[in-house]
Amino acid sequence: ELSADRAVNVVRYFVEVLGQDPKRFSATGYGEFQPVAPNNTYEDMAKNRRVDILIVTSKGEES
């Protein structure tokens, strides 16, 4: 699925380019199941082609 591929590519960047620990990441694709806008126009479709990044750190962990 395209959305999962996009999410995996973001994780790959953090791991391969920025040297982050791959165990700290997960990637999930939601496809058409969590749109932020209706898919009625090209502009709205572009809004739905996104990758959301959630950063969670443990208490006391360095960022």
2 in Cβ contact with 31 (< 8 Å): yes
Which residue type occupies 16? E
Averaged pLDDT score across all residues of the chain: 90
Domain boundaries, the chain: 2-48
Instruction: Give the single-character DSSP code of 49.
Output: S
CB atoms within 10 A of CB 61: 8
Alpha-carbon span 8 to 57, nearest angstrom: 20
Q: Rounded distance, CA 13 to CA 5, Å?
A: 12
pTM above 0.85, yes or no: no
Tell me the per-residue pLDDT of 13-35, one tens digit each, with 9 for 90 and over. 999 999 999 999 999 989 889 99
List strand residue ranges (DSSP E) for the chain, in order. Answer: none
